[in-house]
Amino acid sequence: MSDFKQVLIDAGVPTTEDELTSEFTDTVTESGSTIYNNSIYSPFWRVISSIATKPVNWLVDALANYVMPQFFLSTVSEAFIELWGDRYNCTRKEAQFLKGRVVFSRADLEGEIVIPAGTEVYTDLINNTIYRVITDAEAVIEEDQSGVIAAVTSEQAATAYNLEKGYFAHCDLTGVTVTNPENWIDQVGADLEDLESYRLRIRNSFNTLSHYHTDGVYKYLISSWAGVKTDQIWLEHNAPRGPGTANAFILFDLNAPAESYLETINRQLSEEGYHGHGDDIVAYAMPETKHDVTATLYFSDTLLDVEKETIKKGVYNAIYAAFRGNSAYDMTKTQPYSRFSFTQLAGEIFDLFDGLEDVEFNLNSIVSELSIPTLNSISIVEG
Protein backbone atom coordinates (compact mmCIF):
# COMPACT_ATOMS: atom_id res chain seq x y z
CA MET A 1 0.00 0.00 0.00
CA SER A 2 1.40 3.39 -0.98
CA ASP A 3 2.08 6.11 1.58
CA PHE A 4 -0.44 8.29 -0.24
CA LYS A 5 -3.22 5.74 0.15
CA GLN A 6 -2.38 5.59 3.86
CA VAL A 7 -2.84 9.39 3.99
CA LEU A 8 -6.35 8.93 2.61
CA ILE A 9 -7.08 6.14 5.11
CA ASP A 10 -5.85 8.31 8.00
CA ALA A 11 -8.16 11.07 6.75
CA GLY A 12 -11.14 8.70 6.90
CA VAL A 13 -11.55 8.31 3.13
CA PRO A 14 -12.88 4.84 2.15
CA THR A 15 -10.29 3.24 -0.14
CA THR A 16 -11.60 -0.29 -0.82
CA GLU A 17 -14.68 -1.43 -2.69
CA ASP A 18 -16.16 -2.97 0.47
CA GLU A 19 -15.65 0.28 2.40
CA LEU A 20 -17.19 2.31 -0.43
CA THR A 21 -20.19 -0.05 -0.62
CA SER A 22 -20.71 0.25 3.13
CA GLU A 23 -20.44 4.04 2.93
CA PHE A 24 -22.94 4.10 0.06
CA THR A 25 -25.39 1.92 2.00
CA ASP A 26 -25.14 4.14 5.08
CA THR A 27 -25.71 7.25 2.95
CA VAL A 28 -28.82 5.69 1.38
CA THR A 29 -30.15 4.76 4.82
CA GLU A 30 -29.41 8.19 6.29
CA SER A 31 -31.30 9.81 3.43
CA GLY A 32 -34.49 8.03 4.55
CA SER A 33 -34.63 5.59 1.66
CA THR A 34 -35.56 1.99 2.43
CA ILE A 35 -34.09 -0.75 0.28
CA TYR A 36 -36.02 -4.04 0.41
CA ASN A 37 -34.27 -5.97 -2.32
CA ASN A 38 -30.78 -5.65 -0.81
CA SER A 39 -29.90 -9.32 -0.96
CA ILE A 40 -26.45 -10.06 -2.27
CA TYR A 41 -28.23 -12.05 -4.94
CA SER A 42 -30.32 -9.09 -6.07
CA PRO A 43 -29.27 -8.04 -9.61
CA PHE A 44 -30.82 -4.61 -9.11
CA TRP A 45 -28.89 -3.84 -5.96
CA ARG A 46 -25.63 -5.16 -7.36
CA VAL A 47 -25.99 -2.89 -10.40
CA ILE A 48 -26.85 0.19 -8.30
CA SER A 49 -24.02 -0.51 -5.86
CA SER A 50 -21.47 -1.00 -8.65
CA ILE A 51 -22.58 2.19 -10.44
CA ALA A 52 -22.06 4.14 -7.22
CA THR A 53 -18.86 2.58 -5.90
CA LYS A 54 -16.64 1.44 -8.78
CA PRO A 55 -16.03 4.92 -10.33
CA VAL A 56 -15.24 6.28 -6.87
CA ASN A 57 -12.81 3.42 -6.30
CA TRP A 58 -11.07 4.25 -9.58
CA LEU A 59 -10.83 7.89 -8.56
CA VAL A 60 -9.37 6.99 -5.16
CA ASP A 61 -6.72 4.80 -6.83
CA ALA A 62 -5.94 7.53 -9.35
CA LEU A 63 -5.65 10.11 -6.56
CA ALA A 64 -3.30 7.95 -4.46
CA ASN A 65 -1.19 6.48 -7.26
CA TYR A 66 -1.06 9.22 -9.91
CA VAL A 67 -2.24 12.61 -8.66
CA MET A 68 -0.84 12.97 -5.13
CA PRO A 69 2.72 11.86 -6.07
CA GLN A 70 3.00 14.79 -8.48
CA PHE A 71 2.85 17.27 -5.58
CA PHE A 72 6.23 16.11 -4.19
CA LEU A 73 9.59 16.32 -5.95
CA SER A 74 10.77 12.98 -4.55
CA THR A 75 7.83 11.13 -6.15
CA VAL A 76 6.90 13.20 -9.20
CA SER A 77 6.82 11.12 -12.38
CA GLU A 78 8.54 11.53 -15.75
CA ALA A 79 5.41 13.09 -17.24
CA PHE A 80 5.27 15.98 -14.75
CA ILE A 81 8.82 16.59 -13.54
CA GLU A 82 9.55 19.26 -16.17
CA LEU A 83 6.73 21.34 -14.66
CA TRP A 84 8.64 21.20 -11.38
CA GLY A 85 11.78 22.30 -13.19
CA ASP A 86 9.97 25.27 -14.75
CA ARG A 87 9.03 26.52 -11.27
CA TYR A 88 12.73 26.87 -10.38
CA ASN A 89 14.04 27.92 -13.81
CA CYS A 90 15.76 24.53 -14.06
CA THR A 91 15.35 23.24 -17.61
CA ARG A 92 15.93 19.59 -18.34
CA LYS A 93 19.17 19.04 -20.27
CA GLU A 94 18.66 17.71 -23.79
CA ALA A 95 20.75 15.00 -25.41
CA GLN A 96 23.94 16.38 -26.97
CA PHE A 97 26.24 15.20 -29.75
CA LEU A 98 29.91 14.68 -28.98
CA LYS A 99 32.30 16.95 -30.85
CA GLY A 100 36.00 16.26 -30.90
CA ARG A 101 39.14 15.70 -32.96
CA VAL A 102 40.78 12.59 -34.40
CA VAL A 103 44.18 12.18 -36.03
CA PHE A 104 44.55 10.62 -39.48
CA SER A 105 48.08 9.34 -40.18
CA ARG A 106 50.01 7.64 -42.97
CA ALA A 107 53.42 6.03 -43.44
CA ASP A 108 53.99 6.96 -47.10
CA LEU A 109 54.61 10.73 -47.33
CA GLU A 110 54.29 11.00 -51.12
CA GLY A 111 51.38 12.87 -52.66
CA GLU A 112 48.35 14.18 -50.84
CA ILE A 113 45.45 12.25 -49.37
CA VAL A 114 41.98 13.76 -49.08
CA ILE A 115 39.86 12.82 -46.08
CA PRO A 116 36.31 13.49 -47.33
CA ALA A 117 33.68 15.15 -45.16
CA GLY A 118 31.42 12.44 -43.77
CA THR A 119 34.21 9.88 -43.34
CA GLU A 120 33.25 7.40 -40.63
CA VAL A 121 35.71 6.58 -37.85
CA TYR A 122 34.62 3.66 -35.71
CA THR A 123 35.52 1.39 -32.82
CA ASP A 124 35.89 -2.35 -32.50
CA LEU A 125 32.81 -4.23 -31.40
CA ILE A 126 32.22 -3.30 -27.74
CA ASN A 127 29.61 -5.51 -26.08
CA ASN A 128 27.85 -5.95 -29.46
CA THR A 129 27.95 -2.23 -30.31
CA ILE A 130 30.16 -0.28 -32.73
CA TYR A 131 30.45 3.46 -32.04
CA ARG A 132 31.02 5.89 -34.93
CA VAL A 133 32.09 9.51 -35.25
CA ILE A 134 31.91 11.37 -38.56
CA THR A 135 34.23 14.04 -39.96
CA ASP A 136 32.63 17.48 -40.16
CA ALA A 137 34.58 18.81 -43.14
CA GLU A 138 37.13 17.73 -45.71
CA ALA A 139 40.71 17.43 -44.44
CA VAL A 140 43.87 16.97 -46.51
CA ILE A 141 47.15 15.29 -45.66
CA GLU A 142 49.52 17.43 -47.70
CA GLU A 143 52.64 16.30 -49.54
CA ASP A 144 55.40 15.30 -47.06
CA GLN A 145 53.01 15.52 -44.10
CA SER A 146 52.46 12.43 -41.95
CA GLY A 147 49.00 13.29 -40.71
CA VAL A 148 46.18 15.73 -40.15
CA ILE A 149 43.73 16.55 -37.35
CA ALA A 150 40.05 16.44 -38.31
CA ALA A 151 36.97 17.60 -36.40
CA VAL A 152 34.32 14.93 -35.85
CA THR A 153 30.79 14.62 -34.49
CA SER A 154 29.27 11.51 -32.96
CA GLU A 155 26.75 9.52 -34.97
CA GLN A 156 24.18 9.88 -32.19
CA ALA A 157 23.65 12.20 -29.22
CA ALA A 158 24.73 10.03 -26.29
CA THR A 159 27.14 9.80 -23.37
CA ALA A 160 28.49 6.47 -24.62
CA TYR A 161 30.64 8.20 -27.28
CA ASN A 162 32.89 9.88 -24.66
CA LEU A 163 35.44 7.11 -24.98
CA GLU A 164 39.04 7.02 -23.85
CA LYS A 165 41.88 7.63 -26.28
CA GLY A 166 42.55 4.88 -28.79
CA TYR A 167 39.02 3.50 -29.02
CA PHE A 168 38.20 5.11 -32.40
CA ALA A 169 40.85 3.30 -34.40
CA HIS A 170 39.26 2.31 -37.74
CA CYS A 171 38.26 3.95 -41.01
CA ASP A 172 37.74 2.62 -44.53
CA LEU A 173 40.39 4.77 -46.24
CA THR A 174 43.30 2.96 -47.91
CA GLY A 175 46.77 3.75 -46.62
CA VAL A 176 45.48 5.75 -43.64
CA THR A 177 45.29 4.97 -39.94
CA VAL A 178 43.26 6.92 -37.40
CA THR A 179 42.95 7.34 -33.67
CA ASN A 180 41.35 9.59 -31.07
CA PRO A 181 44.20 11.10 -29.01
CA GLU A 182 44.43 12.29 -25.41
CA ASN A 183 42.09 15.22 -24.63
CA TRP A 184 40.28 14.73 -27.92
CA ILE A 185 36.79 15.75 -26.72
CA ASP A 186 35.77 19.39 -27.27
CA GLN A 187 32.08 18.96 -26.41
CA VAL A 188 30.94 15.97 -24.39
CA GLY A 189 28.21 13.74 -25.72
CA ALA A 190 25.24 13.43 -23.39
CA ASP A 191 22.00 11.51 -23.07
CA LEU A 192 18.71 13.20 -22.26
CA GLU A 193 19.05 13.99 -18.55
CA ASP A 194 17.75 10.99 -16.65
CA LEU A 195 14.87 11.37 -14.23
CA GLU A 196 16.85 10.98 -10.99
CA SER A 197 19.65 13.35 -12.04
CA TYR A 198 17.09 15.97 -13.04
CA ARG A 199 15.22 15.45 -9.77
CA LEU A 200 18.46 16.02 -7.81
CA ARG A 201 19.31 19.14 -9.83
CA ILE A 202 15.86 20.64 -9.19
CA ARG A 203 16.25 19.94 -5.47
CA ASN A 204 19.63 21.63 -5.51
CA SER A 205 18.09 24.65 -7.26
CA PHE A 206 16.03 25.31 -4.11
CA ASN A 207 19.25 26.81 -2.74
CA THR A 208 19.30 29.47 -5.46
CA LEU A 209 16.38 31.22 -3.81
CA SER A 210 19.00 32.73 -1.55
CA HIS A 211 22.56 33.48 -2.67
CA TYR A 212 23.76 32.80 0.84
CA HIS A 213 23.56 29.07 0.08
CA THR A 214 26.67 29.42 -2.01
CA ASP A 215 27.50 25.73 -2.53
CA GLY A 216 24.05 25.13 -3.96
CA VAL A 217 24.29 28.17 -6.25
CA TYR A 218 27.62 27.09 -7.70
CA LYS A 219 26.49 23.49 -8.17
CA TYR A 220 23.34 24.77 -9.86
CA LEU A 221 25.41 26.79 -12.34
CA ILE A 222 27.97 24.09 -13.05
CA SER A 223 25.48 21.23 -13.38
CA SER A 224 23.53 23.11 -16.05
CA TRP A 225 26.22 22.01 -18.52
CA ALA A 226 25.85 18.76 -20.45
CA GLY A 227 27.78 15.88 -18.95
CA VAL A 228 27.87 17.38 -15.44
CA LYS A 229 25.74 15.94 -12.63
CA THR A 230 24.93 17.68 -9.36
CA ASP A 231 26.13 14.76 -7.22
CA GLN A 232 29.42 14.59 -9.13
CA ILE A 233 30.68 18.03 -8.14
CA TRP A 234 32.98 18.40 -5.12
CA LEU A 235 33.71 21.85 -3.68
CA GLU A 236 37.01 22.63 -1.99
CA HIS A 237 36.85 25.56 0.41
CA ASN A 238 39.49 26.93 2.75
CA ALA A 239 41.13 29.29 0.26
CA PRO A 240 43.12 26.81 -1.90
CA ARG A 241 44.66 29.69 -3.91
CA GLY A 242 44.69 32.25 -1.15
CA PRO A 243 41.99 34.26 0.66
CA GLY A 244 38.61 34.38 -1.06
CA THR A 245 39.15 31.37 -3.34
CA ALA A 246 37.46 28.00 -3.83
CA ASN A 247 37.69 25.09 -6.26
CA ALA A 248 35.02 22.93 -7.87
CA PHE A 249 36.06 19.47 -9.05
CA ILE A 250 33.84 17.80 -11.67
CA LEU A 251 33.66 14.05 -12.22
CA PHE A 252 32.47 13.15 -15.71
CA ASP A 253 30.76 9.82 -16.33
CA LEU A 254 33.36 8.83 -18.91
CA ASN A 255 36.41 10.50 -20.42
CA ALA A 256 36.80 14.13 -19.33
CA PRO A 257 36.63 16.78 -22.08
CA ALA A 258 39.43 19.09 -23.16
CA GLU A 259 40.31 22.13 -21.06
CA SER A 260 38.39 24.37 -23.48
CA TYR A 261 35.11 22.90 -22.22
CA LEU A 262 36.00 23.73 -18.63
CA GLU A 263 37.10 27.21 -19.70
CA THR A 264 33.57 27.97 -20.90
CA ILE A 265 32.18 26.80 -17.54
CA ASN A 266 34.64 29.03 -15.71
CA ARG A 267 33.70 32.01 -17.85
CA GLN A 268 30.10 31.55 -16.79
CA LEU A 269 31.10 31.33 -13.13
CA SER A 270 33.01 34.61 -13.35
CA GLU A 271 30.34 36.40 -15.39
CA GLU A 272 27.35 35.37 -13.24
CA GLY A 273 28.77 37.28 -10.30
CA TYR A 274 28.02 34.93 -7.40
CA HIS A 275 30.78 35.47 -4.90
CA GLY A 276 29.69 33.57 -1.82
CA HIS A 277 33.09 31.91 -1.46
CA GLY A 278 34.97 35.07 -2.38
CA ASP A 279 35.92 36.60 -5.69
CA ASP A 280 37.53 33.52 -7.22
CA ILE A 281 36.12 30.04 -7.86
CA VAL A 282 37.53 27.76 -10.56
CA ALA A 283 36.13 24.51 -11.97
CA TYR A 284 38.52 21.66 -12.71
CA ALA A 285 38.15 18.12 -13.95
CA MET A 286 38.51 15.63 -11.11
CA PRO A 287 42.23 14.88 -10.56
CA GLU A 288 43.25 11.43 -11.77
CA THR A 289 45.52 8.77 -10.34
CA LYS A 290 47.05 6.33 -12.83
CA HIS A 291 47.26 2.59 -12.24
CA ASP A 292 48.77 -0.39 -14.08
CA VAL A 293 46.36 -3.31 -13.94
CA THR A 294 47.03 -6.92 -14.92
CA ALA A 295 44.16 -9.41 -15.06
CA THR A 296 44.99 -13.10 -15.16
CA LEU A 297 42.18 -15.22 -16.61
CA TYR A 298 41.77 -18.94 -16.00
CA PHE A 299 39.65 -20.59 -18.69
CA SER A 300 37.70 -23.80 -18.88
CA ASP A 301 39.60 -26.50 -20.81
CA THR A 302 36.62 -26.89 -23.16
CA LEU A 303 37.04 -23.43 -24.75
CA LEU A 304 38.54 -22.94 -28.19
CA ASP A 305 41.31 -20.39 -28.70
CA VAL A 306 38.97 -18.09 -30.64
CA GLU A 307 36.50 -18.18 -27.73
CA LYS A 308 39.27 -17.29 -25.30
CA GLU A 309 40.29 -14.29 -27.42
CA THR A 310 36.68 -13.05 -27.51
CA ILE A 311 36.47 -13.28 -23.71
CA LYS A 312 39.80 -11.46 -23.32
CA LYS A 313 38.50 -8.54 -25.41
CA GLY A 314 35.29 -8.49 -23.38
CA VAL A 315 37.17 -8.50 -20.06
CA TYR A 316 39.43 -5.70 -21.34
CA ASN A 317 36.42 -3.49 -22.10
CA ALA A 318 34.63 -4.47 -18.87
CA ILE A 319 37.66 -3.36 -16.82
CA TYR A 320 37.81 -0.11 -18.79
CA ALA A 321 34.10 0.39 -18.06
CA ALA A 322 34.82 0.09 -14.32
CA PHE A 323 37.52 2.75 -14.72
CA ARG A 324 35.14 5.04 -16.67
CA GLY A 325 36.68 4.37 -20.06
CA ASN A 326 33.42 3.26 -21.70
CA SER A 327 29.79 2.56 -20.79
CA ALA A 328 29.43 -0.76 -22.61
CA TYR A 329 29.13 -2.78 -19.39
CA ASP A 330 27.24 -2.03 -16.18
CA MET A 331 30.14 -2.24 -13.75
CA THR A 332 30.78 -0.82 -10.28
CA LYS A 333 32.75 2.31 -11.17
CA THR A 334 35.64 4.06 -9.49
CA GLN A 335 34.64 7.01 -7.27
CA PRO A 336 36.40 9.75 -5.30
CA TYR A 337 36.66 9.22 -1.55
CA SER A 338 36.12 5.48 -1.80
CA ARG A 339 37.75 2.07 -1.89
CA PHE A 340 37.68 0.30 -5.25
CA SER A 341 37.72 -3.46 -4.70
CA PHE A 342 39.29 -5.74 -7.31
CA THR A 343 37.67 -8.69 -5.57
CA GLN A 344 34.29 -7.21 -6.44
CA LEU A 345 35.47 -6.43 -9.97
CA ALA A 346 36.58 -10.04 -10.43
CA GLY A 347 33.18 -11.28 -9.27
CA GLU A 348 31.36 -9.00 -11.72
CA ILE A 349 33.59 -10.17 -14.59
CA PHE A 350 33.06 -13.79 -13.58
CA ASP A 351 29.29 -13.27 -13.81
CA LEU A 352 29.55 -11.60 -17.22
CA PHE A 353 31.50 -14.20 -19.17
CA ASP A 354 30.83 -17.91 -19.39
CA GLY A 355 33.89 -20.13 -19.57
CA LEU A 356 35.94 -18.38 -16.89
CA GLU A 357 37.04 -20.43 -13.92
CA ASP A 358 38.86 -17.65 -12.08
CA VAL A 359 40.03 -14.05 -12.39
CA GLU A 360 43.02 -12.66 -10.51
CA PHE A 361 44.37 -9.10 -10.37
CA ASN A 362 47.79 -7.75 -9.43
CA LEU A 363 46.08 -5.24 -7.10
CA ASN A 364 43.74 -5.80 -4.16
CA SER A 365 42.11 -2.38 -3.88
CA ILE A 366 42.59 1.31 -4.60
CA VAL A 367 41.76 3.89 -1.94
CA SER A 368 41.02 7.31 -3.41
CA GLU A 369 40.52 10.73 -1.84
CA LEU A 370 39.72 13.82 -3.96
CA SER A 371 40.75 11.98 -7.11
CA ILE A 372 39.49 9.36 -9.54
CA PRO A 373 41.44 6.17 -10.27
CA THR A 374 42.09 5.69 -14.00
CA LEU A 375 44.09 3.21 -16.06
CA ASN A 376 47.68 3.85 -17.09
CA SER A 377 47.90 0.41 -18.67
CA ILE A 378 45.94 -2.82 -18.70
CA SER A 379 47.21 -6.32 -19.48
CA ILE A 380 45.04 -9.39 -19.99
CA VAL A 381 46.97 -12.66 -19.63
CA GLU A 382 45.98 -16.31 -19.56
CA GLY A 383 46.73 -18.26 -16.42
User: How does pLDDT run across 199-233, given as a tens digit for each residue?
Assistant: 999 998 876 555 445 788 888 889 999 999 999 99
For 342-351, give one letter per residue: b (16+ CB within 10 A) or e.
beebbebbee
Contact 98, 161 (CB under 8 A): yes
pLDDT confidence of residue 15: 77
Helix (H) or strand (E) holding 85: helix 81-87
- Give the domain extent around 30: 3-71
Residue 194 in domain: no
CB contact at 8 A, 250 and 228: yes
For residues 317 and 328, the answer to whether their CB atoms sit within 8 Å is yes
Q: 246, 267, 285: which is the final residue of a domain?
A: 285
Does residue 28 lie within any of the structural domains?
A: yes
Q: Are 249 and 286 in contact (CB under 8 A)?
A: yes
**347 within a domain of the structure (yes/no):** yes
Q: Which residue has the higher pLDDT, 372 or 51?
A: 372
Query: Is 217 among the domain residues?
Result: yes
Last residue of a domain, one of 285, 305, 320: 285
Query: What is the β-pairing status of strands 372-382 and 288-299?
Result: parallel
In single-letter form, the type of residue at position 250 comes to I
- What mean pLDDT, rounded, does the chain reach? 88
pLDDT score recorded for residue 44: 59
Q: Do residues 293 and 262 both lie within one domain? A: no
Q: What are the residues whose beta carbons fall under 8 Å from the beta carbon of 262, sequence distance 6 or more?
A: 250, 283, 284, 285
From the list 112, 182, 177, the residue with the least C-alpha distance to 141 is 112
Residues 207 and 130 in one domain: no
Same domain, 294 and 378: yes
Burial of 123 (0-12, 13-18, 19+ CB in 10 A): buried
Cα–Cα distance, 164 to 378 (Å, whole number):
13
Give yes or no for residue 264 having a pLDDT over 50.
Answer: yes
Residues 358 and 298 grouped into a single domain: yes
Residue 193 counted as domain residue: no
Count the domains in the chain.
4
Taking residues 68-81, what's their average pLDDT?
91
275 shares its domain with 345: no
- Are 261 and 297 found together in one domain? no
